[in-house]
Amino acid sequence: MFKVEIITIGDELLIGQVIDTNSAWMAGELGKAGFDVQYKTTVGDNEKDILEAFELAFSRASIVLVTGGIGPTKDDITKKTLCKYFHTQLVFDEKTLETVAEVVRGLQKDLNELTRTQAYIPENCTVIQNRMGTAPITWFEKEGKILVSMPGVPYEMKWAMNQEIIPRLQKTFPVLDFIQHQHYWVKNYSESLLAMHLESFENELPGFIKLAYLPTSGLIRLRLTGKSSDKVGLQREMDTQRQKLLALLPNDIVSEEDANLENILDKLLKEKGLTLSVAESCTGGKLASLFTAIPGCSEYFMGGVVSYANAAKQHILGVNPSDLIDFGAVSEPVVTQMALGAQRIFDTDCAIATSGIAGPGGGTPEKPVGTVWIAAICKDKMKIEEFHFSQNRESNILRACNCGMMLLLELL
């Protein structure tokens, strides 16, 4: 197995201004492609520290992936430091300039002198053109090991990893083992209860198959990963384990797709030609934003109402004001009417509605923080459920989104 080290560069990562979400994403994608991240190191925009990090990484890993510090401004010194480390110099590259100019044109902007300097690249590296931004990706080889420098901007990094870097790594370091993944979205269990329920299943797994619990809000996501040089045997064993798992969780597996719930719904709604709207109280727009983050969602997603104030629930969604008084906003009748209201005003087949106490304030003894009512409708079928989540606002919002999507998924 080839060891991978991720080095993230940037003062902003060391003073706590930016949370590094990149390296977790990278580790996940690398894992799926058969590469194991063994170390992560963060250093500031400081030549000495960067050089030492390169030195150390090359001493213990075969693949070194570096993010950040390659903007055109003075504080970004990764490119210069790469030159020093690899004993080379910056040279002007016409082809890179063309790409940079194209990216800048795409932004309806003029290419200025500073951005032009992005076309200076270290002499003895392979340049990978960055189609998402102006900082070129550079690929270095040294004694059979690889260092790749890429932007720290998340969408540029994601594009570079998926489109260019991982495919090239797979060519350079062929993973000899076949890798198979299976994915399960599981409801009705907490992580610890599920772990207890699956304890003997997990203990009896052959050594080349591993079970992982992936963090999700409100549901549990399981991944079974098998690695073996025997493709047919691996397939057979993975099938066997799948049958065992299905038998252990007869009514609990919501989906076997390797995708977020919004992507699973996106696919299903398109296939079935159904339209969707949402009415959100405690999820506050998050649920709508999950669908609208997906390109092409306008095919089925008609819109939503964030009815934070009770007046909005009443006037826009048509919730009965006496129900708001009698049962409170976080209640079965209100969430039902919110879903029906969204379905009606957006004229959609399906609707999801959420109403709950996200916290930290607003809880009462009868309805503590974490209490959430959720309704899902598909045509004339409806599912309504009360959930009890956590004390944490962010986690409650995400769990309510996932559970709302799960309820709709069960209706489709």
69-98 binders of a second copy (CB under 8 A): 71-75
233 vs 363, which CB is nearer to a second copy? 363
253-255 sheet: strands from edge to edge: 209-214, 220-228, 178-186, 253-255
Cα separations in angstroms, 26 against 90, 245, 258, 293: 28, 29, 17, 20
Three-state secondary structure call for residue 410: helix
Stretch that binds a second copy, among 81-89, 107-115, 243-251, 261-269 (CB under 8 A): 107-115
Q: Which of 225, 221, 201 is nearest to 211 (CA)?
A: 225
Quick check: 280 binds a second copy (CB under 8 A)?
yes
Binding positions for a second copy, 174-193, rule CB under 8 A: 190-193
Residues 212-271 that bind a second copy (CB under 8 A): 212-215, 223, 225
Q: Between residue 343 and residue 362, which ones bind a second copy under the rule CB under 8 A?
A: 345-347, 358-362
* Binds a second copy by CB under 8 A, chosen from 393, 410, 411, 412: 393
CA dist 140 and 261 (Å) reads 38
**Span interacting with a second copy, options 122-130, 210-218, 331-339, 377-385, rule CB under 8 A:** 210-218
Binds a second copy by CB under 8 A, chosen from 55, 98, 202, 326 = 202
- Which residue, 131 or 168, has its beta carbon nearer to a second copy? 131
CA distance 23 to 14: 15
207 binds a second copy (CB under 8 A): no
Cβ closer to a second copy: 27 or 127? 27
Q: Which is nearer to a second copy, 33 or 253 (CB)?
A: 33
Minimum distance, C-beta of residue 138 to a second copy, in the bound complex (Å): 19
- DSSP states along 257-308: -SS-HHHHHHHHHHHHT--EEEEESTTTTHHHHHHHTSTTGGGTEEEEEE--
Residue type, 327: F
- CA dihedral angle for residue 38, residue 42, residue 48, residue 51, rounded to 10 degrees: 30
Which C-beta is closer to a second copy: that of 126 or that of 163?
Answer: 163
CA distance 399 to 388: 10
